[in-house]
Chains A and B, each alone.
Chain A
């Protein structure tokens, strides 16, 4: 399948599960979107580990060193799954998977070349030694435990933004 078609399916399925996907063609566009999404956040955490994370330009006074009390996280995620509209985070390369859990808003940067068509494609390429934590994230945190009324944002983030680069 062509990459363009994969991106289209991924975006469509991510929207269906209440994630908010954006597709950008260059880093300055990425930073424009980030500025808009994070306009009101006062404590933003970015691990600053990958090339894409290092390209994130945000007002340094709003950046924080730890994710524990951050209002938002911006991070690059390792994969996207077109079939389900999911993103994948792992503990590989010394990363904390909690950064995508504790802050109320999660901004995932996803390189378009890391989109897999199906779940099987992802697991077939996973290799022999898998990270101690692999988490698939499909939309924001949700519950329907009170009279089956859908409520977004329980313990995890209430907003999930995905920026495809």
Chain B
């Protein structure tokens, strides 16, 4: 997959055609999105979900209205607890900060817990190039890393791989006996990664939230690798983005109820860690040095603009699992860190229309995403607005522009409309010869039009 650091335009159309021809991928995506969707549906039964999501939405909007204020409050409180706070304006700045902190501490072996923000800034490649040895420890991320690939789903990164492929991969790369039993493969990963946690010089993770009034980092995990990464190595670097602020620790229960239910249908993930500052000298729990990097990377600008509500997103993945486009082609076709409906919007805003506008085709405008979003991001409205902006900024294809112009004329004039109908009927066989694939998908124009029937 191409990295999004490349300025070239995303070739979404071709990527999706390729994805459509990959039967095992389509099967895996359909199965996975169906499963996640059912789990979420069952998870929100019997709870006041509508009331919760309204409260969460209101709260996230109040956060967006005072992003820098909550960032400052977090920084002050976390510093008071012994953490060292850094602000990164963009991806390159954040990468350098992480590299320099590791270098200053003489760290070589680094264990990572799953973090979408570090994917966004392409941290692993940068650290590899600087000579650090970085190991992903989330099982799905680990599989994707040793295969030399990128995640296809934000919750289940190795979703596109079958158990047979993973068995073969482990056999080749780790030298173990072949097995395609998930529990055997999981146990192999446990055995291989345990010594890595123990010998690691540093841990790197993201955060689901950070809390302004206590200076805390909040991390939801299921496997336990997040707890290992944040409590075993002597140095911990947390890379998070500025919109993940919550005003108070008392706001946490609401999001503890919303996030796992929306993501996997769980009442709560197996582990939830709240980390406030570094280890007090003499105490055995927690890293001895804690650095937090607050990444902006264009978010302040988005927060001041008309599409700011995308920053309410808490990365549960629910919008992806109900999206008919995502469920058919999977995450790789988007060539972006964040796929699916929220990904289309966020990628377009973060990377610009020039590179990302083809992604705006990745929607049927059905609106299922808006209905499931736990923080009421108006995804459908944002998709509409960005598609309008694509036309205004001149990124629409000439075919689309002239087609729409023609339709506009015809729809405004009964004469043009009827002429158009007659032309379509007359030229249909010719069009069918010229472009059989497209034309055969369309209904054949009829002699008895609606107007004629009514008159």
Q: Which residues of A contact B (CB under 8 A)?
A: 13, 16-17, 68, 83-86, 91, 94-98, 101, 118-120, 123-124, 126, 130-149, 151, 153-157
Question: Which A residues are CB-close (under 8 A) to B275?
Answer: 132-133
Q: Is the CB of B284 within 8 A of A145?
A: no
Count of chain A to chain B residue pairs whose CB atoms are closer than 8 Å in the complex? 169
* A141 touching B270 in the complex, CB below 8 Å, given contacts A101-B227, A130-B216, A156-B227: yes
Nearest neighbor of B141 in chain A, beta-carbon distance: A145
Q: Is B185 an interface residue (CB 8 A)?
A: yes
Question: Which B residues are CB-close (under 8 A) to A83?
Answer: 267
Q: Which residue of B197, B274, B282 is within 8 Å of A134 (Cβ)? A: B274
Q: Which residue of B159, B228, B267 is within 8 Å of A155 (Cβ)? A: B228
Scoring B157, B232, B256 by chain A CB atoms within 10 A of each residue's CB, the highest score goes to B256
Chain A interface mostly: loop
Identify the stretch in B247-255, B414-422, B424-432 within 8 Å (CB) of chain A at 4 or more residues.
Answer: B247-255
Question: Which B residues are CB-close (under 8 A) to A145?
Answer: 138-140, 143, 156-158
Q: Is the CB of B252 within 8 A of A123?
A: yes
Question: Which B residues are CB-close (under 8 A) to A124?
Answer: 250
Q: Is the CB of B276 within 8 A of A132?
A: yes
Show 11 residue pairs from A and B whose CB-CB distance is below 8 angstroms, ordered by the A residue. A16-B267, A17-B267, A17-B270, A96-B284, A97-B285, A138-B270, A143-B139, A145-B140, A145-B156, A147-B28, A155-B225
From residue B233, how far is it (CB to closest CB) to chain A in Å? Answer: 12
Q: Is the CB of B222 within 8 A of A142?
A: yes
Nearest neighbor of B256 in chain A, beta-carbon distance: A119
Q: Is B325 an interface residue (CB 8 A)?
A: no
Question: Which A residues are CB-close (under 8 A) to B139?
Answer: 143, 145-146, 154
Q: Is B352 an interface residue (CB 8 A)?
A: no
- A101 to B185 CA separation, bound complex (whole angstroms): 20
From residue B448, how far is it (CB to closest CB) to chain A in Å? Answer: 50
Question: Which A residues are CB-close (under 8 A) to B193?
Answer: 155
Q: Is the CB of B166 within 8 A of A146?
A: yes
Q: Which 9 A-B pairs have the closest CB atoms?
A: A156-B224, A91-B285, A145-B140, A119-B253, A155-B224, A154-B223, A96-B284, A136-B272, A146-B182
* A91 touching B223 in the complex, CB below 8 Å, given contacts A130-B214, A141-B270: no
- A136 to B214 CA separation, bound complex (whole angstroms): 17
Q: Which residue of A123, A133, A142 is within 8 Å of B273 (Cβ)? A: A133
- A151 to B32 CA separation, bound complex (whole angstroms): 16
Interface size bracket, B side: 35 or more
Scoring B138, B190, B198 by chain A CB atoms within 10 A of each residue's CB, the highest score goes to B190
Question: Which B residues are CB-close (under 8 A) to A118?
Answer: 253
Question: Which B residues are CB-close (under 8 A) to A95?
Answer: 284-285
- A120 to B81 CA separation, bound complex (whole angstroms): 24
Q: Is the CB of A143 within 8 A of B268?
A: no
Q: Is B35 an interface residue (CB 8 A)?
A: yes
* A142 touching B268 in the complex, CB below 8 Å, given contacts A96-B284, A123-B253, A131-B276: no
From residue B290, how far is it (CB to closest CB) to chain A in Å? Answer: 9
Q: Is the CB of A130 within 8 A of B231?
A: no
From residue A140, how far is it (CB to closest CB) to chain B in Å? Answer: 7
Q: Is B243 an interface residue (CB 8 A)?
A: no
Residues of chain B in range 283-336 having any CB-CB distance to chain A below 8 Å? 283-286
Q: Is the CB of A147 within 8 A of B227?
A: no
- A154 to B35 CA separation, bound complex (whole angstroms): 21
> What 14 new A-B contacts, CB under 8 Å, besides A140-B270, A156-B227?
A17-B268, A97-B227, A98-B227, A98-B285, A119-B256, A132-B276, A134-B274, A141-B270, A143-B139, A148-B31, A154-B186, A154-B222, A155-B197, A156-B223
Q: Is the CB of A142 within 8 A of B231?
A: no
Residues of chain B in range 133-168 having any CB-CB distance to chain A below 8 Å? 137-140, 143, 156-159, 162-163, 166
